[in-house]
Amino acid sequence: MKFRYGLCSLQIFNAILLRFSRRLRNSPLTLVLFFSLIFLLFTGCCQKKSHRILKLAHVLDTSHPVHKAMAFMAEQVEEKSNGRLTIKIYPSGQLGQERELIELLQIGSLAMAKVSTAPLESFVPEIKILGIPYVFRDDTHRWNVLKSDIGRSLLLSGEECFLRGLCFYDAGSRSFYTKKIPIHSPKDLKGLKIRVMKSVTSVNMVKALGGSPTPISWGELYTALQQGVVDGAENNPPSFFLSHHYEVCQFYTLDEHTSVPDILLISTAVWDHLTPQERTWLQQAADESVDFQRKLWDKACQEALQEVKKAGVTIIYPDKAAFIRSAEKLHDSYRGTQIFELINKIKEME
């Protein structure tokens, strides 16, 4: 962008100089007007360069805590940069579903996107570690990992395919919800078609726990539940509530099998063209938005559970031991791979 504006200005300057060269020699007034014009031209070009707009897209509703966190980030970027860097947010799938957004980032047609780490694993194999069930002991353990060198490495693991992670957002823990059959243990999942994200790890996870995984896009899930295409799905409390899936599903089992975070991505084609100062503004704002979002998330989870219970949903608190035992088979299936080594590293962390 800088090169284009500089070349444009130089071409215009040469054209004007050639056209008015004779007049400049003979007229002091023309000389003054000429240099005034050149000053305005270059000032205008500098103003264009000093204001950069980054488009950010995601599929969530604007009432979702993660959207609010990104809106907060946009405000912080605007403030830190004194208006020189702006983030424009396109929510609710306006620019496509998550896989489409990732592909737009890769070709540089979109600057930033918030996606779940599940669809990202098709592009960045290392990220599948975050979708493996019961790899984290609790929330404290999970955030210790995400803020460690392991988390940092995962954020940067997609750079070879033009995707750079800026931060993780809390997406809580995912649990099963079903239309007709309550889930108290893995054996209750047998024969049930459970919607999963389009992720190999999600498919293997539901298989390991006894269900029949059925990949369906998030935007089509309400209708799929309504029409009986699937018997249930799995997600965190705010998503279960805000999607209105509680209108179709009577039972919500808080087995908390996975804690798949959301990730904020930026296209490396865009990142590489930001100035060092712009990168600092953006990264600082993203980091601050994580703390802001986590506070919103805790409150949203409590409110969501209260609302779905009020709407008639039966909330089940199962014994997780049987679910954890079933998940261990999936852990063992990675033996001999880097993922298995990473699982052990995570388990060893406090």
pLDDT tens for each residue of 10-37 = 343 444 444 444 444 555 555 444 444 4
With respect to residue 198, please indicate whether it lies within any of the assigned structural domains: yes
User: How far apart (Å, rounded) are the C-alpha atoms in residues 282 and 288?
Assistant: 10
Q: Collapsing DSSP states into helix, strand and coil, what is residue 337?
A: coil
Amino acid type, 49? K
With respect to residue 306, please indicate whether it lies within any of the assigned structural domains: yes
With respect to residue 227, please indicate whether it lies within any of the assigned structural domains: yes
What is the residue range of 14's domain?
2-48
Q: What is the pLDDT of residue 94?
A: 96
Q: What is the pLDDT of residue 137?
A: 92
With respect to residue 294, please indicate whether it lies within any of the assigned structural domains: no
Residues 228-287: pLDDT tens digits?
999 999 999 999 999 999 999 999 999 999 999 999 999 999 999 999 999 999 999 999
Confidence of residue 198 (pLDDT cuts 50, 70, 90): confident
Q: Assess whether 43 and 178 both reside in one domain.
A: no
Q: Assess whether 179 and 41 both reside in one domain.
A: no
Q: What is the mean pLDDT of residues 288-311?
A: 96
Beta-carbon neighbour count of residue 34 at 10 Å? 17
Beta-carbon neighbour count of residue 195 at 10 Å? 26
User: Is the pLDDT confidence value at 42 over 90?
Assistant: no
With respect to residue 311, please indicate whether it lies within any of the assigned structural domains: yes
The CATH number covering residue 192 comes to 3.40.190.170
User: Is the pLDDT confidence value at 112 over 90?
Assistant: yes
Q: What is the pLDDT of residue 8?
A: 39
Q: First CA to last CA across the chain, in angstroms?
A: 46
Amino acid type, 86? T
Confidence of residue 49 (pLDDT cuts 50, 70, 90): low
With respect to residue 115, please indicate whether it lies within any of the assigned structural domains: no
Name the helix (H) or strand (E) containing 254: strand 251-258
Q: What is the pLDDT of residue 149?
A: 96
Q: pLDDT: is 50 or 5 the higher one? A: 50
Q: Collapsing DSSP states into helix, strand and coil, what is residue 52?
A: strand
Name the helix (H) or strand (E) containing 123: none
Q: pLDDT: is 29 or 112 the higher one? A: 112
With respect to residue 133, please indicate whether it lies within any of the assigned structural domains: no
Q: Assess whether 182 and 40 both reside in one domain.
A: no
Confidence of residue 350 (pLDDT cuts 50, 70, 90): confident
User: How far apart (Å, rounded) are the C-alpha atoms in residues 63 and 292?
Assistant: 15
Total domains in the fold of the chain = 2
User: Is the pLDDT confidence value at 184 over 90?
Assistant: yes
Confidence of residue 219 (pLDDT cuts 50, 70, 90): confident
User: How far apart (Å, rounded) are the C-alpha atoms in residues 344 and 259?
Assistant: 17
Question: In the structure encoding, which two tokens stand for residue 284, read together?
Answer: 């600082």
Q: What is the pLDDT of residue 20?
A: 45
User: Is the pLDDT confidence value at 80 over 80?
Assistant: yes
Residues 135-147: pLDDT tens digits?
999 999 999 999 9
User: Is the pLDDT confidence value at 9 over 50?
Assistant: no
Place of tokens 């966190």: 69
Name the helix (H) or strand (E) containing 93: none
Residues 165-180: pLDDT tens digits?
999 999 999 999 999 9
User: Is the pLDDT confidence value at 50 over 90?
Assistant: no
User: How far apart (Å, rounded) are the C-alpha atoms in residues 222 and 230?
Assistant: 10
Question: In the structure encoding, which two tokens stand for residue 124, read together?
Answer: 């960045």
Domain end point (choices 11, 31, 48):
48
Q: Assess whether 184 and 332 both reside in one domain.
A: yes
Total-model pTM: 0.80
Place of tokens 């049930």: 192
Please report which residue ranges of 184-275 form alpha helices under DSSP H. Answer: 200-208, 221-226, 237-242, 268-271
Q: What is the DSSP letter of 236?
A: -
Q: At what angle do helices 65-80 and 276-310 cross, to 10 degrees?
A: 150
With respect to residue 94, please indicate whether it lies within any of the assigned structural domains: no
User: Is the pLDDT confidence value at 38 over 90?
Assistant: no
Residues 82-111: pLDDT tens digits?
999 999 999 999 999 999 999 999 999 999
Q: What is the pLDDT of residue 26?
A: 55
Domain end point (choices 10, 26, 48):
48
* Mean pLDDT score across all residues of the chain: 88
User: Is the pLDDT confidence value at 320 over 60?
Assistant: yes
Long-range contacts of residues 43-47, Cβ cutoff 8 Å, at least 24 apart: 45/5, 45/6, 45/8, 45/9
